[in-house]
Chain A
Amino acid sequence: MTSPSDVELIARLAQRDQAALTALYERYANLVYSLALRVVQDGRLAEEVTQDVFMEVWNRPERWDVQKGRFSSWLLTVTRYTAIDRLRGERSRAEEMPYEDALGHQPGDDSLSAWAEAEALRPLLAQLPPEQRHVVDLAFFQGLTHSQIAEKTGLPLGTVKTRLRTALTRLREQWEDRGE
């Protein structure tokens, strides 16, 4: 028997079908938790973020539709910003947590094509020069803008812009080249 598609499961959520949420959770919980953990760098906070994200899906399934692209990407976008919001809240109460690069872990659920595609991106990210990787980390995983990164790192604003643009351009080109 084939498992129900994301579209079918989301439609069932609108009928308040708890089994549909469980199915989505089992399909995507590791993806969501992994990204949340990458952003907040704290297991307990990552759990809270994961729970918030799935409750958002439960409470507002209509927020996603097929036209918005694949469900998992939408879910991860929500995860990233929920985690960044949570991180900002935590920062106001605690010292910033050290950045721990855990690249190289094996994916837990590899059934998703996008995840498989990102397999190639992960080492490319790790191979960036440290100064470029750091600005990508601050911008993407911590949600900081150009000027916020400059303020945080003490680097000139122009340097931050150049580093981020160079890093992202390099990542995109190398990622595309590997697919050819």
Chain B
Amino acid sequence: MGRIQLNKVTKTFGDVEVIPPLDLTIEDGEFTVFVGPSGCGKSTLLRLIAGLEDITSGSIAIDGNDATDVPPARRGLAMVFQSYALYPHMSVRKNIAFPLRMAKLDQAEIDKRVNNAASVLNLTDYLDRRPGQLSGGQRQRVAIGRAIVREPAAFLFDEPLSNLDAALRVGMRLEISELHKRLATTMIYVTHDQVEAMTMADRIVVLRAGHIEQVGSPLELYRAPRNTFVAGFIGSPKMNLIEGEEAAKHDAHTIGIRPEHIAVSADEGPWSGVVGVSEHLGSDTFFHIHQTGLAETITVRADGEVSFSHGDRIHLTPRADVIHRFDAGGLRIA
């Protein structure tokens, strides 16, 4: 069981308020992702939940029990660190067994759990190696193994994939999602990568400067971002935000239209501009359009076969039903 509740939690370092009063409930079994730009307080929030930092005021409850002053080891949470934090002088087996040894389990039980975790994570062949002899992905799996043997109430992941190369990242992303489906344990995952957030999360918490900007499922955030910050942060490439005359036509201060919701054409469409850089991904092509009179650059997604050259004047047609409208304060107009 792992229902985590934060009540008016704050954190200050000296005079700097990193987390202003914050309320959040993470339901049992949920995969929650904290996402935000660097320095938004997402890692600090995770460390507060873990107990590695003391909260300045407010309270944290795990499964309904107040855990505010409970030391990290007794909160029943397991954490996977960005650097993996494996113990370099211990073999993989000893690394995974370490929390069990600290809990003074008997040797038979330790062996059973370690072997079980190793087979789940495909680490059986590497149990006697040292972390230094493993690849990045394998180290990552050892770190996860060390977390799952404890059978914690919740897993905490602190940007676990940021040290891996792109291909491995995609693979580990799937493995962690798979693990969550199988264990059905609460997981809290911190990342600055909105793709990881979108693909893995049941629920995303978008943070900026310690404030929660929006909480919702990936598609809720994609379809109805609550403000321009979330609109710009969720979705790749970023949503085009247009101010001024064009926005006024829609009775808004700012309108947002995603690159995938704009059609391109050589000769017809309400907007027009000059093609700058084109990024060809094979399946899709992203055009960066200048001189539209709307914004400095408008990004457009087109089919991979569409081809325009640098300097071509083309026309754009936004899909009217998916234009997001925001007021002067950046908040969404329903």
Whether chain B is bound by chain A comes out as no
